[in-house]
Amino acid sequence: MYKGLVVDKGIMDRDPHFSEGCISCHKGDEKAQDRKVAHKGMIKRPSDDVKTCALCHEDITKTYATALHYTSAGQKHGVMGRFSKEELKTFDAKVFEQSCRSCHASCGDCHVKGPVISGISTGLLKGHRFVKRDEGKTCALCHGGRVYPEFTGEYGGTPDVHYQKGMVCMDCHKKTEFHGDGNAYTSRQARKDRPSCINCHPAGQEKTEKAKSAHATHAGKMSCASCHASGQYRNCYDCHAGKGATSKPAFILGRNPRDKKMITTLRVIPTVRDTFLSAGIKMENFDLLPNYWDTVPHNIKKRTERTRSCDVCHVEKEGFLTKEKLIKDGSRANEGLIYTPKPIKK
């Protein structure tokens, strides 16, 4: 047992999680000499049930049981507006619990062993030690399709200025975002304590008059990322059409579907009309929701094309969503996000 490739006696002596032995979490028969007998009844992923960790971490598990990382509620509520009442029942039974819920994160997924994503896993983080935090392995694995490679510059372009300064995920995203605060939110947008640029960069404290003027002029009209996203970011196509995922770089500006008065960076969410057809769901209300949603690309830069020249937006209209650029056979709601900037007097 102690000489195994996964667990050694040194770890077990130092880590308090092993004070009661493996069976305290994994069950099985610790007295058995035969591997098959010892593993009979073993629970492979004990933290899938938060009650396991609650034995020692009661306060954290109370809030994590309703946290978005655990419930995956954001996935459900993000698409349910397209369904009729009957279709929603079918979705809950045949799709959400069997598919979407498989993406939920247990305590062990972040603190012990990386989950399997599309057949890939980082494995044990540190030989079965319980790790408090390791963003490069935990955050990056699940959020490595878009966010993390944009942040580090691995997707192309320059790394996010915060990453260049040595910052990591939890410098902006605080612990309560992961462990929850006891409230059952329908999506991350419902949280009031999400990271905001102005938390660290309050208006009125700019170093130049030009910056003060630009921020005052665009306040309440454009998101920070609209000007400060350094370039193209990843957009996905076809991945909900049963054809395999296709990613393409793009920079898209348009109306925020949650606040039409605000212009922001948009990302394609490629739900198509027949996404759930195999489950008997036609999505009767498909056109009520758009295929483009507000996003904050993690490739922020102080100076970009748009901060250097007003003409990029107001003359060249670079990056703005147009009817010609809309995805094929997309929702009719997409047209409501189109925005054409007005010329400015010089």
Same domain? For 298 and 244 the reply is yes
Answer whether residue 127 is part of any domain: yes
Same domain? For 229 and 334 the reply is yes
Same domain? For 156 and 217 the reply is no
What is the DSSP code string of 65-103? TTSHHHH-HHHHHHHGGGS-HHHHHHIIIIIITTTGGGG
Same domain? For 218 and 346 the reply is yes
Q: Where are the beta strands (DSSP E) in the chain?
A: 233-237, 246-250, 253-256, 259-268, 292-294
Q: Provide the pLDDT for residue 243.
A: 59
Q: Provide the pLDDT for residue 163.
A: 96
Answer whether residue 11 is part of any domain: no
Q: Provide the pLDDT for residue 120.
A: 78
Same domain? For 212 and 181 the reply is no
Q: Provide the pLDDT for residue 2.
A: 35
Same domain? For 173 and 232 the reply is no
pTM (global) more than 0.85: yes
Answer whether residue 10 is part of any domain: no
Is the Cβ–Cβ distance between 112 and 18 less than 8 Å? Answer: no
Q: Provide the pLDDT for residue 242.
A: 53
283/221 Cα distance (integer angstroms): 33
Domain stop point among 123, 157, 189: 189
Q: Provide the pLDDT for residue 160.
A: 97
pLDDT digit string, tens, across residues 79-100 = 999 999 999 999 999 888 888 7
Q: Provide the pLDDT for residue 271.
A: 84
Answer whether residue 33 is part of any domain: no
Answer whether residue 61 is part of any domain: yes
Token representation of residue 270? 């490629």
pLDDT digit string, tens, across residues 2-60 = 333 466 677 878 888 888 888 889 999 988 989 899 999 999 999 999 999 999 999 99
pLDDT digit string, tens, across residues 150-163 = 999 998 888 999 99
- Mean pLDDT rounded to a whole number for the chain: 90
Domain stop point among 163, 189, 215: 189
Same domain? For 153 and 212 the reply is no
pLDDT tier at 244 (50, 70, 90 boundaries)?
A: low
Answer whether residue 69 is part of any domain: yes
Q: What mean pLDDT comes out for the span 108-135? A: 86
Number of domains, the chain: 2
Answer whether residue 336 is part of any domain: yes
Q: Provide the pLDDT for residue 6.
A: 62
Residue 136 sits in which domain range? 45-189
Answer whether residue 332 is part of any domain: yes
pLDDT digit string, tens, across residues 258-307 = 999 999 999 998 888 888 888 899 999 999 999 999 999 999 999 999 99
